[in-house]
Amino acid sequence: ADDGYRLWLRYERITDPAVRTAYNKTFSFIAVSDTSDISHNAAKELQAGIGAMTGKHIPIVKTMPKSGRGIRLSLSGATDVTAVKADSYVISLEGGNVVIKSAGNTGLLYGSFALLRHLQQHLPIEKAVSQSKPKIQLRMLNHWDNPEGTIERGYAGSSLWKWYELPETVDPRYTDYARANASIGINGTVVNNVNASARFLTAEYLHKVAALAGVFRKYGIKTYLSIHFAAPKTLGGLKTSDPLDPEVRKWWMEKTKEVYSIIPDFGGFLVKANSEGEPGPQDYGRTHADGANMLAEALAPFNGVVIWRAFVYKADPNADRFKAAYDEFASLDGKFAKNVIVQVKNGPIDFQPREPFSPLFGNMPKTPLGMEFQLTQEYLGFATHWVYEAPIFKECLDADTYVKGKGSTVASIVDGSLHNYPLTCMAGVANTGSDRSWTGHPMAQANWYAFGRLAWDHTLSAQAIAREWAQLTLTTQPKPVAAITDIMLRSRDIYVDYNTPLGLSRPWTGAHYAPEPWQNRSSRPDWTAIYYHRADSLGLGFDRTATGSNALQQYRPEVTRAWANPETCPLPYLLWFHHISWSQKLSSGRTLWDELCHRFYTGAESVVWMQKQWASVQSSIDPTLHADVTGRLLKQHKEAIWWRDAWMLYLQTFSKQAIPAIYRRPERT
Ligand code: GCW
């Protein structure tokens, strides 16, 4: 039975005789003269993958045999190539052989995985001819994993990293993790939580991290660490962690040197500073740039980078958190050292089911802005709700900021083309854990997959990625693939409808799971539900127009215009920007209250549709996996009703209106 462990690298035996014969004829050897670990692993993956699909042992050889057809991995002799060049590849057909060419061994690895993807879809060999180069340089996972093995906002078991047995014992699963990442082009991983323990910078832990890096490096993946900004004090015993203090700067220089002596190809530091209680340069009256530049100086001699997060906001219930990142960072543009990237969450608040794009994108032309997406489903129903996230990523990447006129998409900023950034970065907060299926909900594997594919090429469509993933992971039969793709593409809107429709946000406290739109007690004055949804006797929603917080002004006029008028603001964003009265007629023809009822009820009802679609593919899916997802869909439906009812009953105390009769019928569970 398939427990999901093999992800999209299943390499199922091909049963179609025509396809198998064609593949058998073409693949009788894999020739690779380059002896690096990465090239070797590329060849090994082809051998294992094609071997499993065809049932044939394919030898790996150094030089091309005189007869027979096969695959040649060809490394061009070019030296001193850029990272992007080294990752790019060309697949061609030469005299019956499939040739994968690249200027770097990583390109050979990515080309090999591209070929395997192609063959897993049983496509004709001639159609594999292609070329590809990544649009983003640093394609990374950010793990929010803690030293004691827990994962902040992780719903797939405990951490993959077994710190207590490292570095002596190196779990073979680390290799499978690296293979999975390399197969979708991911080339960096931050192994620890941004709420960082200083312990990761001790020699003891650096050696553990080095053991992981030793595995990852063989798949073209660099290792990074999140750092605790106050480490000079907590770890170094200094009196301060002031970034302008010479002793502190020296401490970081020496620490960084030590890191590189243990992990020579270390990638750099990820930093959460002055955010949600984490220490930072502002503790000493310094700026984010002062903090980042201190670390940049220490990393520069080793070509390391600083990835500094823009996720900041004050514990002030009268401020608009929406505006915080822009307010703190935009004016620092031009002040960051060359090897600093500022990493921005896709939306201005915090990975909500639907957010407008962060207004910081486009407003730091001199500072490379990296994208931070969240793969783990913190606000998307953890591991019981099926939500395919590619539409979330695409919505943001394709959004037009208008900062240099029409067509200034967020993607064009992040990929460096709009402002000529020398560094480009896209990060996904990982959804992996020690569960056999890696991601808790087996269908959440698609979010990891989609992230990697989009970091490589953000022009791919959510649909194409869904189809490809389903073919690789679940079945190659066209009908079930279409049915599954259909569920995936609608899943996010369905979730939004029963969870936070029309631009509502954050009706939760602590765990970010149970609906608690009434919950107004908390450890911080701004961490209340009412702060976000602003329900009152008049209506609902956060006024961010000129009569309210005026956050809309952080966007270019074209964007502001599209959202500033409550009559024309697209409904998915309505309550993000407007406080709307309960009886106001919306563009749908319904009043706000009726539209809310409509969304909550049809959203929850649509989970029944998902269940039916999933039931229809049963005969094509592994029974264990099918049963697992069926169970999760049952739970999802119950929870959708729970969400709907919690919201509706709560909002009704303000609207004082009835739920229209058409929705009040017996529940189908
Ligand atoms: O989404 C919020 C989470 C925190 C997280 C923080 C952040 C790692 O609730 O758990 O901390 O954002 O992104 O820093």
> Which residues does residue 130 pair with via DSSP β-bridges, in sequence order?
91
* Domain 17-132 sits in CATH 3.30.379.10: yes
pLDDT at 90 over 70: yes
Buried b (16+ CB within 10 A) or exposed e, 274-287: bbeebbbbbbbebb
Residue 507 confidence (pLDDT): 83
* Per annotation, catalytic residue among 16, 276, 536, 667: 276
* Amino acid (1-letter code) at residue 3: D
* Per annotation, catalytic residue among 2, 242, 290, 378: 378
Please check whether residue 47 is in contact with residue 119, taking contact to mean a CB–CB distance below 8 angstroms.
no
Question: Minimal CA–CA distance to 360: which of 319, 395, 399, 324?
Answer: 324
Q: Where in the chain is the domain with CATH 3.30.379.10?
A: 17-132
User: Does the annotation mark 126 as catalytic?
Assistant: no
Tell me the average pLDDT of the chain. Answer: 97
Ligand 1: nearest atom to the Cα of 379: 1
pLDDT at 568 over 70: yes
The stretch 297-308 carries a mean pLDDT of: 98
| CATH number for the domain running over 497-663 | 3.90.1330.10
pLDDT at 668 over 60: no
Q: What is the pLDDT of residues 461-501, one digit of tens each?
A: 999 999 999 999 999 999 999 999 999 999 999 999 999 99
Q: What is the pLDDT of residues 319-374, one digit of tens each?
A: 999 999 999 999 999 999 999 999 999 999 999 999 999 999 999 999 999 999 99
Could you tell which of 142, 143, 144 is best to mutate to test the pocket of ligand 1, judged by most ligand atoms within 8 Å of the CB? 144
What ipTM was predicted for this assembly? 0.99
pLDDT at 665 over 80: no
DSSP string over 649-665: HHHHHHH--PPPGGG-S
The stretch 18-40 carries a mean pLDDT of: 97
Could you tell which of 142, 153, 345, 524 is best to mutate to test the pocket of ligand 1, judged by most ligand atoms within 8 Å of the CB? 153
pLDDT at 573 over 90: yes
The stretch 242-260 carries a mean pLDDT of: 98
Could you tell which of 350, 505, 506 is best to mutate to test the pocket of ligand 1, judged by most ligand atoms within 8 Å of the CB? 350
Q: Where in the chain is the domain with CATH 3.20.20.80?
A: 138-471
State the virtual CA torsion across 645, 651, 654, 655 in degrees, nearest 10: -90
Ligand 1: nearest atom to the Cα of 350: 1
Distance between Cα 217 and ligand 1 center (Å)? 28
For residue 181, what are the CA distances in angstroms to 64, 113, 174, 219, 443? 29, 11, 11, 8, 17
Buried b (16+ CB within 10 A) or exposed e, 396-435: bbebbbbbeeeebbbbbbbbbebbebebbbbbbbbbbbbb
The stretch 70-78 carries a mean pLDDT of: 92
Q: Where in the chain is the domain with CATH 3.90.1330.10?
A: 497-663
Residue 522 confidence (pLDDT): 85
The stretch 149-162 carries a mean pLDDT of: 98
Query: What is the percent of the chain where pLDDT is above 70?
Result: 99
- Pick the range with the lowest mean pLDDT from 170-184, 208-222, 420-434, 519-533: 519-533
pLDDT at 195 over 90: yes
The stretch 634-645 carries a mean pLDDT of: 97
The stretch 412-418 carries a mean pLDDT of: 98
pLDDT at 165 over 70: yes
Query: What is the percent of the chain where pLDDT is above 90?
Result: 95
60-61 β-sheet, strand order = 60-61, 30-32, 71-75, 97-102, 89-94, 130-132
Residue 666 confidence (pLDDT): 66
Residue 669 confidence (pLDDT): 52
pLDDT at 266 over 60: yes
Residue 484 confidence (pLDDT): 98
Q: What is the pLDDT of residues 198-249, one digit of tens each?
A: 999 999 999 999 999 999 999 999 999 999 999 999 999 999 999 999 999 9
* Amino acid (1-letter code) at residue 302: F
* Domain 138-471 sits in CATH 3.40.50.10800: no
Ligand 1: nearest atom to the Cα of 152: 10
